[in-house]
Structure 1
Amino acid sequence: MKVPNTPLKTELFNFKRHDIAQVVAIEQQLYNDLAYPELLFYQAVHQWPSSQFICRDADNILAYAMYAPAEKANTLWLMSAAVKPNCQGRGVGTKLLSDSLRSLDEQGTTSILLSVAPNNAAAVSVYEKLGFEVIETAEDYLGQGQHRLIMQRKITDKDSL
């Protein structure tokens, strides 16, 4: 599947309008046995409805981004962002993240945190393009030998006032 000729649209994920199975399928294609379970996606949509996003063409969900509250007020974690494998490298993920960051800024979010594998150069590059900076290298972050870069993007300076 190529990125469609129809315009891409980023929107809040709403399980009443959208097929959650498409989001779960993207997750499973990318992460296999380490994929988040379907139940987590239902919980996220119910618990944090204003911070779950999808990017779609006219018919299909091509990517999703799942944000969750952090300990600090007005700060979210990007828990997962994924693009269908056959749509990667075509700007779908960048559009999704750029649009979702803009929406979160409008909602009053001041900072986004994420973790990414240090060897995932493509993802690190996209995150840096979107204004994320490495703030920590965390060894064994997701278990033995699972090192991560912790990156942060301050959306606004609202929290420094």
Structure 2
Amino acid sequence: MSSDTPSRDRVYQVSSNRESASHKLRYVEGSAPDTDECRLCVGSLPQANKSDPLVTVQIATSEDIARIAFFEKQLYDKDAYSSLFFYQALRQWPKGFLTIKSDEKVAGYSLVVPLDGGRATLMSLLIGKSFQGQGLGQVLLEQAIESATADQWHELELSVSPDNAPAIKLYKRAGFQSVNTVKDYLGPGEDRLIMRRTL
């Protein structure tokens, strides 16, 4: 490849429907922008190939819960949130409970819940094993931040295992900063790094 050939990168086309709280994204191959412009905002991208997966982010529904609970059990076993918890979350924090789907299949979820003083916490963000490594975690995180901003929270907080380097890197890229490490945050031996970002 010559130095004159623009680099190609995976970017997203996004359409947003605020009334239905739904965001549709499609993987497309296109020239990387010359500036630091947000790739979600880049226009005039080529049409996606038919084989590219359609990715959507939207508010969760009760029909999504069985698959979400399956992913939880798959990744966290006995520490997984139960279906009952997710049904309760759907009733208590419906706008903060998002799912991400790939070709209409639930691939993961995020849950933002209120704290005090105009703050909220990203209680959970999970991508199912079979959908990992496709950049879906970043897409879902960006949409969770956008949703929290639209809900007029001033600050978003999260906790993550200090040993989970990939997750910490993802959160830092999204503007989160490390605040402190809390010993036994989730029980004996379950320390957590607290991270925050302003909205």
Whether these two folds match at TM > 0.5 is yes
After the TM superposition, which residues 24-43 of structure 1 pair with which residues of structure 2 at under 5 Å, given as runs?
A: 24-43=69-88
Which of 58, 62, 87 is the equivalent residue of 2:103? 58
- Is contact 1:10–1:100 with CA below 8 Å preserved after alignment? no
* Structure of higher RCO (CA pairs closer than 8 Å, 6+ residues apart): 1
Q: State the identity %.
A: 33
**Residue 12 of structure 1 pairs with residue 59 of structure 2:** yes
**Residue 123 of structure 1 pairs with residue 163 of structure 2:** no
- Is contact 2:54–2:104 with CA below 8 Å preserved after alignment? no
Per the alignment, in what secondary structure is the counterpart of residue 150 of structure 1? strand
- Structure 2 segments unaligned to the other structure (5+ residues): 1-26, 28-50
* Matched pairs, number: 150
- Is contact 2:60–2:98 with CA below 8 Å preserved after alignment? yes
More off after superposition, 32-41 vs 58-67: 58-67
Q: For the pair shown, which has the larger CA radius of gyration, 1 or 2?
A: 2
**How far apart in 1 are the matches of 2:53 and 2:134?**
14
**How far apart in 1 are the matches of 2:93 and 2:178?**
26
**How far apart in 2 are the matches of 1:99 and 1:146?**
28
How far does residue 58 in structure 1 lie from its aligned partner after superposition?
2.6
Letter in 1 for 2:61: N
* 1:158 counterpart residue number: none
- Structure 1 segments unaligned to the other structure (5+ residues): 156-161
Per the alignment, in what secondary structure is the counterpart of residue 39 of structure 1? helix
* Cα RMSD, aligned residues only: 1.5
Which of 122, 129, 141 is the equivalent residue of 1:78? 122
**Residue 112 of structure 1 pairs with residue 156 of structure 2:** yes
Per the alignment, in what secondary structure is the counterpart of residue 140 of structure 1? coil
Bigger fraction of residues in strand: 2
TM-score, normalised to structure 2, is 0.72
TM-score, normalised to structure 1, is 0.88
- Is contact 2:55–2:104 with CA below 8 Å preserved after alignment? no
Per the alignment, in what secondary structure is the counterpart of residue 85 of structure 2? helix
* 2:94 counterpart residue number: 49
